[in-house]
Amino acid sequence: MIKSKINWRRQIIGNGIVIIVLALIGGFFWYRTVHSQDTWRQVTADKTVVVGVDDTFVPMGFRNAQGDLVGYDVELARATLKKMGLKADFQTIDWSMKETELKTGHIDMIWNGYTKNADRKKKVAFSDSYHHDHQVIVTMKNQQINKLNDLKGKRLGAQTGSSGLLTYNEQGNSLRKTVGSDAQQYDTFDKALNDLQVGRLNAVLIDADYAGYYIAHEKDPEAFKTIQTNFGTDAYGVGMRKGDVTLRNKVNDALAEAKKDGTIDKISQKYFGTDNK
């Protein structure tokens, strides 16, 4: 009986040791796999990081009258990377292909009003949130659309790959049920807004920041109407490859510093007229 108890205890101890060893081995291989994909040294070898942007996305990243790339995200990316001892090399990309551009190494990060959501989190690793926005409907006052229910049977436009379109296409989305059809897709928001003004669309689903800036800089801002949606708040983050742990940590540290020292609020005041939200 005593011998049986001793063997039983030895077996428990032995099994425990095996489990611990297997856990350590698993942890080792997980760590090596993750960090073997960490491209920090390669990416920063020339002290430059390639940032993917949609250069028509006002006021986050766009071309001014002189053709220079400017905007809230452009300035924030430059300021943040400068704190890291790096420079930004901005690369204009097809927004619908942004995650592919990142995965294949054509760019090192996505930084351009990039909303964090469950679908995108499967593909990229996000930085901490640094700005918040929401979705609105933009229409022309002559369309006689005053509330969401007035969109029934109307032609709605949206940008391909945008967070608004992703939410619109979710099963059971109430706005889609009201409209009753797929949104007409455009590669950039400005093309959708152009079609709105000439009557090819009745409304556009768009980020509030974009809508506000665009309308304010049109010849007749009073001709437009903005309607709030029930989509909730969008949190913006910088998108990076999941393996780029070092880059993500350093970006988060630099963003935190930019918030603390007032850099983000200063840039926000320039483009939105308010402190960062």
Q: Give residues with Cβ within 8 angstroms of 177, minimum separation 6.
A: none
102-130 per-position pLDDT tens digit:
999 999 999 999 999 999 999 999 999 99
Query: Would you say 203 and 196 are in contact if contact means Cβ atoms under 8 Å apart?
Result: yes
Amino acid at 219: K
- Mean residue pLDDT of the chain comes to 91
CA dihedral 41, 92, 138, 195 (to 10 degrees): -160
Nearest Cα neighbor of 239 from 4, 49, 66, 67 is 49
Cα gap 211→276, rounded to integer Å? 17
Q: Which of 122, 128, 129, 87 is nearest to 108 (CA)?
A: 87
40-130+237-272: which CATH number, 3.40.50.620, 1.10.287.470, 3.10.450.50, 3.40.190.10? 3.40.190.10
Q: What is the pLDDT of residue 11?
A: 63
CA-to-CA distance for 118 and 101, rounded, in angstroms? 19
- Give me the pLDDT at residue 33, please: 43
How far apart are the C-alpha atoms of 115 and 126, rounded to whole Å?
10
Could you give the CA distance from residue 35 to residue 56 in angstroms, rounded to a whole number? 35
Instruction: Check residue 43 and give its pLDDT.
Output: 86
| SS3 category, 258 | helix
Ranges 16-30, 69-83, 194-208, 237-251: which has the least confidence: 16-30
Q: Which residues contact 39 (CB under 8 A, 6 or more apart)?
A: 105, 108, 241, 243, 244, 247
pLDDT over 90 (residue 222): yes
Return the CATH fold of 133-235.
Answer: D-Maltodextrin-Binding Protein; domain 2 (3.40.190)
Residue 26 CA to chain centroid, in angstroms? Answer: 32
pLDDT of amino acid 8: 53
Quickly list H helices, the chain: 2-36, 40-43, 72-83, 98-103, 118-121, 163-168, 174-179, 189-197, 208-216, 245-260, 263-272
Query: What percent of the chain lies above the pLDDT cut of 70?
Result: 87
pTM: 0.80
Q: What are 59-80's pLDDT values in tens digits? A: 999 999 999 999 999 999 999 9
Q: Is the pLDDT of residue 10 over 70?
A: no
CB 271 within 8 A of CB 217: no
Q: Tell me, what's the pLDDT at 51?
A: 98
Q: What is the pLDDT of residue 277?
A: 86
Task: Note the pLDDT tens digit of each residue in 168-209.
Answer: 999 889 999 999 999 999 999 999 999 999 999 999 999 999
Q: How confident is the model at residue 31 (pLDDT cuts 50, 70, 90)?
A: very low
Is residue 25 over pLDDT 60? Answer: no
Per domain, the residue ranges of the chain are 1-36, 40-130+237-272, 133-235
pLDDT at 30 over 50: no
Q: What pLDDT, on a 0 to 100 scale, did the predictor assign at position 34?
A: 42
Tens digits of residue pLDDT in 131-162:
999 999 999 999 999 999 999 999 999 999 99
Contact 139, 225 (CB under 8 A): yes
